[in-house]
Amino acid sequence: QVQLVESGGGLVQAGDSLRLSCTASLSTLSVYAVGWFRQAPGKERESVAAISRNAGNRYYSDSVKGRFTISRDNAKNAVDLQMNSLKPGDTAVYYCAATQPLSDTLLFSRSHNYAYWGQGTQVTVSS
């Protein structure tokens, strides 16, 4: 079992950067595959990025590819999401999720694959 807490959200202007952190307690996050998702008002939750347990594989949605970077910080027991060149369309509540994979190289882009979720952090990008 793992508890996840997201941090780093806020209100920024278009073109700015933010760094979100997903910090774990009760367990070591390095044994989990982790994903970041977001949900804008009136829209379904969508996958943003994912990272395998060994950090060797990473996934990005087309909408964030080239602007967002997912990474592990095992010293902090966290997975970070660096978001650059933010756009108003990135406005959403961002959630991190974790699950124990069958291998070090697996990652998951679909929410139903994840067993544990954080409470979310709001990101608002003004134009």
One pLDDT digit (tens) per residue for the chain, 127 residues? 999 999 999 999 999 999 999 999 999 999 999 999 999 999 999 999 999 999 999 999 999 999 999 999 999 999 999 999 999 999 999 999 999 998 988 999 999 999 999 999 999 999 9
Give the tokens for residue 107: 């990652």
Q: How distant, in Å, are the alpha carbons of 13, 46, 79, 90, 93 from that of 122?
A: 14, 15, 17, 10, 4
